[in-house]
Amino acid sequence: MTGATGQHGSTGAHVVASLREQGVPVRVLARTSSERTASLEALGAEVVYGDFRDRRSLEPAFADVTDATFTYPVAAGIVEAAANFAAAARTVATPPRVFVMSMAPSHPQSPSPLGRAHWLAEEVFGWAGLAPSVLRVAAFFYENVTLFHAATIRERGVIANSFGDAALPWIAGIDAARLLVRAILDPSLFPPGVHLPPGAELATHATLAERLSSQLGRDVGYESISHDDWKRELLERARRNDSAVNISMADHITALSGIFAGGKPPMTKPDPTQLATLLGGPVTNFTEFVEAHRPSLSLASSR
């Protein structure tokens, strides 16, 4: 498992927990020791340390591995990471099955630099002869609401960004993790190739704000701001290094907001029935997501 200590959606940690609950031995690749690695070890996972920028540090992680997952954060450096991962995987006598957690904007002509980089990283695995199963989850994570807007929801009761009235596909990070677990345990669901699992629902940010108002018992509204203003805000947060937002992430999300606000429909429409079938169980809805994240969304005056 790579990406098990990531913060955006915490998909990797969910995958480890689920596999360990089912008695599957798991080896986690981490860059440094932390509270997150300690919690994974407490679940019975083996933790080894390596760096995507150093192929030699990755090679020991592949010993006796049958399945390897590649999950990279929403950040720069994915092509180099994929190349080092693929090179290390090829050092073992029998290379593992590889599962790649990607994103729907992965495309050579994507408006997002990260979308283009993710596509190239997928190509690297194919060139290496690893025949990966690529999951381009075709939805935004509900976790984007907390990542980008928790502070303004708490302090001013507002979600402000440049998506405007665009209806977006959404999914809970835990359901993306469940898709990866299903892929690992039943490879026939996602054989080698590119797959676009659908989101759970289509909703605007204004709709999500209305639901937050009802659930939190306080008014939460949506404010449409310009592309430049939102990008400026995110870049300032990245430069202050006071959140999980980084410069590449700011470029990525604002590039997507420009496309969707301009009227582009989702490439893959949400299909909760199909998603439930792929998950082998019920889909996590926004109400359940809010309950799980209520502390970070509670407005300042009610805390």
Per-residue buried b or exposed e for 194-207, using 16+ beta carbons within 10 Å of the residue's own CB: bbbbbbbbbbbbbb
- Hunting for tokens 């933790």 — which residue is that? 47
80 token code pair: 């180099």
Q: What is the pLDDT of residue 11?
A: 80
Tell me the average pLDDT across 170-192.
95
| pLDDT tens, position by position, 93-121 | 999 999 999 999 999 999 999 999 999 99
CA gap 253, 101 in Å, rounded: 18
Q: Name residues whose C-beta falls within 8 Å of residue 240's C-beta, 6 or more positions apart in sequence.
A: none
Q: Is the pLDDT of residue 267 over 80?
A: no
CA gap 253, 83 in Å, rounded: 25
| pLDDT tens, position by position, 128-167 | 999 999 999 999 999 999 999 999 999 999 999 999 999 9
Domains parsed from the chain with CATH numbers: 11-138+173-195 (3.40.50.720), 141-169+200-302 (3.90.25.10)
Q: What is the pLDDT of residue 53?
A: 93
Evaluated on CA atoms 59, 63, 65, 66, the torsion sign reads positive
Q: What is the pLDDT of residue 8?
A: 57
Tell me the average pLDDT across 170-174.
96
| pLDDT tens, position by position, 56-90 | 999 999 999 999 999 998 899 999 999 999 999 99
Q: What is the pLDDT of residue 224?
A: 97
